[in-house]
Amino acid sequence: MKVLVVGASGTIGARVVKSLAKGHQVTVIVRHQHLVERFEKLGVKAHYVDIETELEKVIEQGVSGQDAVICAATAGVDGEPTEIELLDRTVALKTIDAAKKARVRHFVLLSAYGADRPNQFKKEMYPFYAAKNAAEEQIEHSGLTYTIICPVNIVDGEGRGLIEADEDLKDVKEATISETDVASILVAAVDNRALFNRRLEVKEGKTTLNEALGGDEAVGSVKDNRQVKKQLPRYN
């Protein structure tokens, strides 16, 4: 399968790429020129984009001919407002538009728990959740086959591969999920028909990832955190 990963130079995106590259033809879009060679060493086709001048053009080129798209671009809830506006809103919306034009078979969006209710958050957190909400709304009304993954608070560290996934999670006040498990979920979603046209909230749990998502095991669960961190710096 041909898969485009947007946001591939972030920590979650990097894990997604490393895992997908074992069994798929992967393309990435990066905004740091020096990362192109690093991705190419993994057997991945990399497009460099100048955010200021050619974002829409490069995204359309990257999406063209792909079977699936994973949009993992994010500045995080603690990101700078300008980065949130760029990555979590503008990049996501333009990627959805391009995927619709290219008739991509499946679009996987990394969102966030609570993005369906952005008004509940404090002023400083609202821009992040509002941007995620805008992306969710757009993909749900795009006509594309989609999967929206909404993790609770994401933490560093090795994942256990044990999660809970539901369209309406309960008991999330102190819930967390590792970056590694989030990446594994995104990989598993790419070709999992059980997740088509669904919005899933996810947290660490007691069920294997495969069982929780109701599909076949992902191509290479994301396990080697340290190796990915060594290969690629924390950029989005």
Full pLDDT tens readout for the chain, 236 residues: 999 999 998 999 999 999 999 999 999 998 888 999 999 999 999 999 888 889 999 999 999 999 999 999 999 999 999 999 999 999 999 999 999 999 999 999 999 999 999 999 999 999 999 999 999 999 999 999 999 999 999 999 788 999 999 999 988 989 999 999 999 999 999 999 999 999 999 999 999 999 999 865 433 344 433 333 333 333 33
Amino acid identity at 209:
L
Q: Which residues contact 20 (CB under 8 A, 6 or more apart)?
A: 3, 5, 26, 70, 187, 190, 219, 220
Question: Where do the DSSP E strands lie in the chain?
Answer: 2-6, 25-30, 45-48, 68-71, 106-110, 146-151, 153-155, 162-166, 176-178, 198-204, 207-208
Regarding the domain delimited by 2-231, which CATH topology (the fold level of the hierarchy) does it fall under? Rossmann fold (3.40.50)
Check residue 90 and give its pLDDT.
96
Give the integer Cα–Cα distance in Å for 181 and 179: 6
- Determine how many CB atoms are found less than 10 A away from the CB of residue 172: 14
Q: What is the pTM of this model?
A: 0.90
Amino acid identity at 165:
A
Check residue 28 and give its pLDDT.
97
72-90 burial, b if ≥16 CB within 10 A, otherwise e? bbbbbbebeeeebbbbbbb
If phi > 0 it is left, if psi is from -120 to 50 it is alpha, else beta; for residue 156 that is: beta
Check residue 215 and give its pLDDT.
61
In this structure, what token pair is assigned to residue 221?
């669960």
Q: Where are the domains of the chain?
A: 2-231
Are residues 91 and 28 in contact, defined by beta-carbon separation less than 8 angstroms? Answer: no
In degrees and rounded to multiples of 5, residue 158 shows phi and psi of -70, 135
C-alpha pair distances (Å), 59 with each of 43, 109, 210, 224:
20, 15, 31, 29
Give the integer Cα–Cα distance in Å for 135 and 74: 12
Give the integer Cα–Cα distance in Å for 181 and 209: 8
In degrees and rounded to multiples of 5, residue 39 shows phi and psi of -70, -40
Q: At what angle do helices 179-189 and 11-20 cross, to 10 degrees?
A: 50
Check residue 51 and give its pLDDT.
81
C-alpha pair distances (Å), 136 with each of 65, 79, 126:
23, 19, 15
